Chain A
Amino acid sequence: MKLDKRLLQQLNGLRILVSGTIGLGLLVAIMTIAQAFYLSKTINLVFLHSRTLADVSPCLIYFGIFSLFRSLFHYGQQNIAGKIAFKVKTDLREKIVRHLFKLGPIYIKSGRTGELSNTILKGIDSLDAYFSQYIPQIFLSALVPVGILLAVFPLDILSGIVFLITAPLIPLFMVLIGDTAETLTKKQWHTLSRLSAHFLDVLQGLTTLKIFNRSKDQIAVIAKISDHYRIATLKVLRVAFLSALTLEMLATISTAIIAVEIGLRLLYAKIDFQSALFVLILAPEFYLPLRQLGTKFHAGMEGVAAANRIFTILEEPAEHSSARPVLFNLRSEEIVFDTVSYGYKSKQLNAIENLSFRILPGAKVALVGPSGAGKTTIASLLLKFIRPDCGRICVGQHNLSDISAPEWRKQIAWVSQNPYLFHAGVAENIRLAAPGATEAELITAAKLANIHHFIDSLPEKYATDIGEKGARLSGGEAQRIAIARAFLKDAPFIILDEPTANLDPEIEAMIHDSIQTLTRKKTVLLIAHRLSTVHDADQIIVLVGGRIREKGDHSELIRQDGIYKKLNQAYRGVT
């Protein structure tokens, strides 16, 4: 029954609302007792003292009024709890999104985005029950029984003692059984997450599965995973229900004991009927909130399990951007790699090892080398998605680590291998680079990227919606949209990550000029497999296995008769 500390911390600052639920809980308890009192009094007067309806009508009116207020307070309490849940959930969801944005693409894409988005949506939704039901129930479970105890003790000590002895057993059992349930619930949550990630994976790869005629096999796989989920869940439930069973048993058997005990004492006139009935009416009310705590506890448990995943993400250390602004200008300052090394967690070898080179302002530097040579890692470092394990990257006088990422990125444009297109109109996708751009600027950028004609041929032109990952666009078209973005951004430093890798020669020729225009008077880092755009670079760096093997311009490297020359021949198809 652990109260998750990190979750409770979310209640800081919501003290007024929390006190509100407690106060209303207390009022519900008082109303419950008052109601029971007038009900037992009415029945006593009619049954044993032969009073008429007219005699007892004041009691009945009180009973009605207290019933009404009880419902009102109950409703109020739930509303306030709902408000608490609302505040905590919206807040946490935004915190987690903010934090993920800080953690950046390397963290996000190393996991499964399906699982992450499930945590953000369903995970946080499952906190609803924790805050809107479980927490208020805790207060009700504390206040109502205590109130009833206080009312019963002066009237009937023996029943009071039965209540007093049995009540603590309920939370005790819950703690004992709850711990096992907690570990099991965690496991179950994990299965559920995997289930949804697997589903997304299968759906996205459905075409590939079909090509291999394996899509029907997935039926069995899905059934198998669902079965695992069922078995895992049932395990949790068997324990969870066992605790419910214990609680039910305690509550019903105690009620039975009280009924027999007061019945027998009534028989020997040790207690009066009104008090006996009062106690009997309250007996189920006494146990009800404790029993409900059991059911709501399990609703809350799902939240606690989700909270673990949520806080794992939130506690993942993110780079803190430095507070002091650093002035730099990439138009005039050089970028220097000084013995930089970096390795990914998942791989043994470093992606790049002891790299040193400089990018002069206005220069065009090309990185060439087989795949896996570390070219993309260099781009990630320059984009501040990752920071060097060793060595440093300097910008003029400053260390890149001291420059805040958003400030830094303002001066960079990037055209990647697989540009991502958002579920939005074409225009909005290009405007990503400059949300305030005018229609004219937009069209100019599209024209420069040689994509305007294509967009103009779309059914709704610039307003045409692009599906997931630009489902309706070819690789070349997506690439040209990315180039249009770069045009619109007009940054002094441009990173071209194999921008022509997916284009055919016709389009390559078409955008060759675009790229020329784009990169004019700009600092350029070009990452390329294709050599047709490399030959006019000021400097070509040949990378193999994360190390620099050759450096120089095209004619120098051809003269050296090394790897570059071989690459060149290979590219032209000369064997």
Chain B
Amino acid sequence: MRQTFFRLVKLTMAYKNRMITAAILGFLTIGSSIGLLMTSAYIIAKAALHPSIADLQVGIVGVRFFGISRGIFRYLERLISHEATLRLLSKFRVWFYQGIEPLAPARLIKYKSGDLLNRIISDIGNLEHLYIRVLAPPVIAALVTVLMFFLFETFNLVFSILLLISFFIAGIGVPVFIFIVSRKTGEEVNRLRSKLQIQTIDSLQGISEILIFGQEERFRNKIHILNQRYEKKQRQRTFINGVHEALIGLIMNFTILAMLLIAIPQVTAATLDGIYLSVIALGIMAAFEAISPLPAAAQHLEQSIKSGQRLLDLVNANPLITDPKTPSSVPDDFSLKFENLSFKYDKNDDFSLRHVSFTVPQGSKIAVVGSSGAGKSTLVNLMLRFWDFPDGHIFIGNRDIRTFRQEDVRNLISVVSQNTYLFNETIQENLSLANPEKSKDELEEAMRQAQLWETVQSLPKQAETFVGEQGFLFSGGERQRLAIARSFLKDAPILILDEPTANLDAFTEQKILRIFWDLSKNKTTVLITHRLVGLENADQILVLKKGKIIQRGTHAELTEQDGWYRRMWQIQNQVLVIEAIGQ
């Protein structure tokens, strides 16, 4: 916990000059208030004794000065402290993203995006308060305490000590009390908020299923229950907040009372000038302004640490893959070789790949076919260095891919996968993602090649049209063609097609496949598919089953052999069979 706190504080140190300036200005603001009220009290007490007006002159100047300075100090303090806070916020956000970016996708698969969103937005939001609400108030309070101690010491040390005690109770006792009381509530509030958020996102994204199965009531009820529990906890927190404001007000008034109990006999004994009774009372009132934010600071401290801890937990996870210290240079031969590759995602899982070995000469085309779960996509994940593999080797140009930097490997590979993500940006922006340097003409050419151009032309804003959340505004086929156009633009020497036509109709599929074979002419190509269409073009075909290669050969060879391939080819062409029987 302490470690988290110090790591967070360390992050804030980038802006320490701004923060120190703001704290001093905060102290001066409250100092002005104290000055204003104490000199005001002095003026009227003095005036009550009817001296000459000259005796009041200094006091009057002081009152005017403090009356104006407070506002100005306050304004500057707020501006500077908020500026620092917002910079801090930006820093936290970037720091967090930088932290999770290397972890994706392997380490992140267990975090749900709703939860992640909640973490980033609200945890980073909580850290937003780290300076203004957590770090600054105690510093300002300490400075004010020192000021008051010396001011009261000019009257009598007893007053200083009494004030110190009361500040201690109000500034440390109450916050600690609140901290202990609110601790569990705060935890619960965060936990419930996160649950409510996941439930909400889940219900919104699964809305079609909910409506069709008539489960509105049940899902609304789930949200209702979480909502009630969450808000009840929130309310408990408000309760505790209410306590501290009232409690500190009470302590302030009782401090005045206690101070008078000591001071009045001194006035009677003439060891204290009666003028100072009102000066002391009003001074206490003004000084408490520095104490009142402290209980809230304790609460926010707790929240900040919790949020910081959660962020650190995520960011601190070791990435599965680290780049080698002395990476190999990029090869100029792009053949692929898989050697005795075995892999499982988790210790407790079954093997996804078992002793897989095959070679793809440069510019050659291989098709990997098999049922879902056969390990086809795992091959892709390993080639892209998303997961590390202890057993076996993958070579590009006879160099083990583990000797390359991850980015260099990915630069060599273009992927069209079945679940390519589209960002909620314009079509154009989604395309230039692949290569920001491509011109408009090149984008157009890529869209033409992907048979997307006509569709895009028919849109109201053409390539400037937004694609909607996860490309929702487009049909599956259109989304896929966008993804394909994107890969055309990347133009890498190795091409991986991971079920590239999964969502396309037969016409488009054929066209696209033809383009693919054209495009892949000089590229080392791996086509992963369950559709046994156009595979005559592949130089070799591998059939994977449960992570093992069970058949290999060309389309002609495999249709000759009795086995998985021929069986599936027949099923797929059932229509043909039935048609033939019908005639």
Contact = CB atoms under 8 A, between A and B. Distances in A.
A383 B234 contact: no
A207 B104 contact: yes
Interface stretch (B165-173, B215-223, B328-336): B215-223
B392 interface: no
A419 B209 contact: yes
A263 B47 contact: yes
Interface residues of B, number: 183
B97 A218 contact: yes
A548 interface: no
A468 B86 contact: no
Given A101-B216, A234-B82, A371-B505, A204 B470 contact: yes
Contacts of B470: 204
A94 interface: yes
Contact of B575 (A195, A412, A571): A571
Contacts of B407: 213
Interface string B404-436: 000100110101011111111000000001100
A74 interface: yes
Contacts, number: 518
A439 B582 CA distance: 43
A210 B105 contact: yes
A229 to B, nearest CB: 7
Contacts of B70: 248, 252
Contacts of A409: 211-214
A31 B567 CA distance: 91
Contacts of A413: 212
Contacts of A218: 97, 101
A523 to B, nearest CB: 16
Nearest to A210: B104
Interface residues of A, number: 180
Given A108-B207, A256-B63, A203 B410 contact: no
B211 A223 contact: no
A501 B477 CA distance: 11
A255 B94 contact: no
Contacts of A108: 204, 207
Given A79-B239, A273-B48, A371 B211 contact: no
A402 B459 CA distance: 34
Interface string B107-135: 01110111011101110000000000000
Interface stretch (A7-15, A62-70, A161-169): A62-70
A249 interface: yes
A204 B79 contact: no
Interface in B62-97: 63-64, 66-68, 70-72, 74-75, 78-79, 82-83, 86-87, 89-90, 93-94, 97
Interface stretch (A330-338, A354-362, A389-397, A528-536): A528-536
A136 B267 CA distance: 42
B455 A372 contact: yes
Interface stretch (B137-145, B177-185, B253-261, B358-366): B253-261
Given A241-B75, A245-B75, A259-B63, A267 B50 contact: yes
A50 B424 contact: no
Given A46-B268, A219-B98, A371-B476, A39 B281 contact: yes
B489 to A, nearest CB: 9
Contacts of B204: 100, 108, 113, 116-117
Task: State the majority secondary structure of interface residues on A.
Answer: helix
Contact of A46 (B267, B411, B475, B532): B267
B386 interface: yes
A256 B64 contact: yes
A567 B506 CA distance: 6
Interface stretch (A172-180, A276-284, A304-312): A276-284
Contacts of B110: 467
Contacts of A112: 424, 469
B216 A371 contact: no
A216 B101 contact: yes
A296 interface: no
A383 B372 contact: no
A420 B242 contact: no
A277 B285 CA distance: 14
Nearest to B579: A558
Contact of A249 (B71, B82, B113): B71
Interface in A46-96: 46-48, 50, 52-53, 56, 60, 63-64, 67-68, 70-72, 74-75, 78-79, 82-83, 85-86, 89-90, 93-94
Contacts of B371: 476, 504, 506-507
Interface stretch (A120-128, A137-145, A146-154, A513-521): A120-128
Nearest to B262: A53
A496 interface: no
Interface in A529-562: 529-532, 535, 555, 558
Interface in B331-373: 348, 369-373
B44 A266 contact: yes
Contact of A122 (B48, B108, B122, B260): B122
A72 B475 CA distance: 62
B505 A567 contact: yes
Nearest to B461: A346
Interface in A185-214: 195-197, 199-214
Interface string A214-235: 1110110011001101100110
A216 B406 CA distance: 12
Interface in B37-75: 37, 39-41, 43-48, 50-51, 53, 56, 59-60, 63-64, 66-68, 70-72, 74-75
A78 B576 CA distance: 77
A231 to B, nearest CB: 9
Given A74-B245, A121-B193, A570-B507, A347 B460 contact: yes
B414 to A, nearest CB: 9
Contacts of B256: 39, 63
A503 interface: yes
Contacts of A476: 371-373
B469 A94 contact: no
Interface in B237-275: 238-239, 241-243, 245-247, 249-250, 253-254, 256-257, 260-261, 264-265, 267-268, 274-275
Interface string A397-421: 0000000011001101110111111
A162 B486 CA distance: 71
B63 A53 contact: no
A542 B204 CA distance: 33
A60 B56 contact: no
A464 interface: no
B257 A48 contact: no
Contacts of A46: 264, 267-268, 274, 277
A459 interface: yes
B117 A570 contact: no
B156 interface: no
B436 to A, nearest CB: 8
Contact of A276 (B36, B44, B254, B433): B44
B391 interface: no
B112 A370 contact: no
Nearest to A266: B47
Given A53-B268, A535-B578, A573-B533, A503 B372 contact: yes
Interface string B540-570: 0000000000000000000000001000110
B572 interface: yes
Shortest beta-carbon contacts, A-B, top 5: A504-B530, A371-B477, A256-B67, A259-B40, A67-B253
Given A206-B104, A502-B502, 10 more contacts: A50-B268, A93-B223, A93-B227, A94-B223, A113-B205, A203-B108, A204-B470, A234-B86, A263-B40, A417-B503
30 contacts: A35-B253, A46-B274, A47-B267, A52-B268, A82-B239, A90-B228, A111-B469, A121-B118, A197-B424, A199-B117, A202-B423, A206-B101, A230-B90, A237-B79, A242-B75, A245-B74, A248-B74, A252-B70, A266-B48, A280-B44, A346-B468, A416-B209, A418-B476, A421-B206, A432-B209, A503-B372, A505-B530, A509-B571, A531-B506, A570-B507
